[in-house]
A = this chain, B = another copy of it.
Amino acid sequence: MFGVTILGNNSALPAYDRHPTAQVVTLNQHQFLIDCGEGTQMQLSRYKVRRSRINHIFISHLHGDHYFGLPGLITSMGLLNREHELHVHGPAFLKGIIDIILQAADTRLPYQLHFHPLVHEGTIVDDEKFSIDCFKVFHRIECWGFVIREKKNLRRINKDTINLFAIPTSFYDQLKLGEDYHNGEYVVKNEEVTLPNATPRSYAYCADTVYTESLAEKTKNVSLLYHETTYLKDLEERALKRFHSTTVQAATLAIKANANRLLIGHFSSKYEGLDEFLAETIEVFPKTELAIEGVSYRVL
């Protein structure tokens, strides 16, 4: 299972029951929270996402609509007697904010809170089966995007053929890595006893950003690309002035990045309906979906 659930799809001002930015990425047994606007803890309850399973939180930047829900979530996790550690990744300045807020309340968390400042582009979480990288995007203040990539998957043992050969099980890990089996007398070619696994999948989150082609390189070939569309295409000038993007710009980036699918969100509160966002974007990049709160999108 690899997917993303939208908890908030609106830009800075909450409106029309749309909430500020937050989304949960599920990758097998892992859950990652990306951004944490005000009310995220309530949205997690509303959509029955278990906060105890969230071990990593990524904050793109320090505009309030992307993190004002974080102090409440951290505090509530403590009140719920969380004991396992929590990792927060965000701009360096965030640590001071969390510290002063916990100090003011005289709060001692019952769990370890590890803060990881985002400093350089590159890998920030490296697991056996996936990696998470951060990259810079271009907004009014320091702002980061994130890309979660499955690692090249191991081959699978072919249960129909493996017993035809006397291969010790201690060699199975090497078979999964693609090696042939040699025992001095004969050779078993790897593809005779293994099957290829699925192509690795990936999800990129571009946070708040002006349109820039340089992001295509950072998000190359992703399975699902999230790009903000704060404005419809007629407001390109306003988007540029406010360091945001339009529908057509998001679609153009999806083409340049060779993304498989595109997810758009961070809609300005000046728009009550969202149909136009979808219509304008699919005209340029057909495999687009609107980020709707409470909906999960699979990374395929």
Give A contacts to B, CB under 8 Å.
12-15, 19-20, 38-39, 41-42, 45, 62-65, 68-69, 71-72, 75-76, 79-80, 91, 93-94, 96-97, 100-101, 104-106, 140-141
| B141/A106 in contact, CB under 8 A | yes
A13 with B79, Cβ < 8 A, contacts A39-B38, A94-B104, A97-B101 known: yes
A100 to B99, CA, bound (A): 11
Q: In the complex, which residues of chain B have a beta carbon less than 8 angstroms from the beta carbon of A42?
A: 14, 19, 38-39
The 5 A-B pairs of least Cβ separation, nearest first, read: A62-B104, A38-B72, A39-B39, A68-B72, A64-B75
A12 with B76, Cβ < 8 A, contacts A39-B38, A62-B105 known: yes
Q: In the complex, which residues of chain B have a beta carbon less than 8 angstroms from the beta carbon of A69?
A: 38
Q: In the complex, which residues of chain B have a beta carbon less than 8 angstroms from the beta carbon of A96?
A: 100
Q: Which of B39, B93, B105 contacts A104 (CB 8 A)?
A: B93
Q: In the complex, which residues of chain B have a beta carbon less than 8 angstroms from the beta carbon of A106?
A: 140-141
Q: Which of B68, B75, B105 contacts A141 (CB 8 A)?
A: B105
A130 to B288, CA, bound (A): 57
CB distance from A238 to the nearest CB of B (A): 14
A140 to B76, CA, bound (A): 17
> Can you identify 26 A-B contacts, CB atoms within 8 angstroms?
A12-B75, A12-B76, A12-B79, A13-B79, A13-B80, A15-B45, A38-B38, A38-B42, A39-B39, A39-B42, A62-B105, A64-B71, A64-B75, A64-B101, A65-B72, A68-B68, A68-B71, A68-B72, A94-B104, A96-B100, A97-B100, A97-B104, A104-B141, A105-B141, A106-B140, A106-B141
